[in-house]
Amino acid sequence: MDIIDYHNVEIRQGDMFVLGDISFTVQEGDFVYLIGKVGSGKSSLLKTIYAELEAVCPMPDSHAFVLNTSLQNLKKRNIPKLRRQMGIVFQDFQLLTDRNVFDNLSFVLKSTGWKDKKLIHQKIFQVLDMVGMETKGYKMPHELSGGEQQRICIARALLNDPKLILADEPTGNLDPDTGRQIMEILRKVGDKGTTVVMITHNLQWVHDFPGRIFQCVGRRLIVDAILPDGISETGEQDETSLTEESVRITENNNTIIA
């Protein structure tokens, strides 16, 4: 089953051209990394998937589908319905600071139509258990470490049993050990059949937790790239291995060959 299907799509920010000729499909259960330099278009691409930014379809055969929903001419009133089928994990957590963990999660469920208090309690404790935070429901966000807050964000993303999780640098503000714990949780979620699309600058994760690699470079998207050799001790990409001149594209499947 295609979770995402883009064909000949463009991305623009106002008058600025960001990415063009974007064509790819993501299947159910895929774990996809979006890599590339800062400003290469990774976040813009992710934003089109959850309809924060328009996926421009300039050609007659262009199309953009997410979870069987066409993004072309998607009305604003229908965007929440699309987003309820996905979970989004941000780098900066975006937890409500005026309420505890349980109430943060309860707020999301009630906002998406849950009414039965017993079912709400069951669901919250289920997702907290999935991320190893089952005893932290009473805690306020400021009482949690960065890694704990990110676990809560993943729990929040899992509340409505999404078919797709989008994660924008979920380990970017965390130390390496905590980041690895977050990656293990996301991979476990992916192994259960949920599709995960994740932006990262840390190629060590790509090496240690293999998945598909999409690379933004030169205002285009390279699909199913090969992991570059140059990984620093911190896991960050070696920019010399990611320049556009260092790759060629096979005519038949858009695979990078270093």
DSSP secondary structure letters along 120-161: HHHHHHHHHHHTT-TT-TT--GGGS-HHHHHHHHHHHHHTT-
Does residue 197 form part of some domain? no
- Global pTM reads 0.85
Instruction: Please identify every stretch of the chain with a pLDDT value under 70, giving residue numbers as ranges.
Output: 228-258
Overall domain count for the chain = 1
Does residue 154 form part of some domain? yes
Identify the pLDDT of residue 92.
76
Does residue 125 form part of some domain? yes
> Whose structure tokens read 């998607």?
74
Identify the pLDDT of residue 100.
95
Identify the pLDDT of residue 174.
87
Does residue 156 form part of some domain? yes
Q: For residue 106, what are the domain limits?
A: 92-161
Does residue 195 form part of some domain? no
Does residue 102 form part of some domain? yes
Identify the pLDDT of residue 1.
80
Does residue 9 form part of some domain? no
Does residue 59 form part of some domain? no
Helix-strand-coil split of the chain, %, nearest 5 = 35, 25, 40
Residue type, 235: G
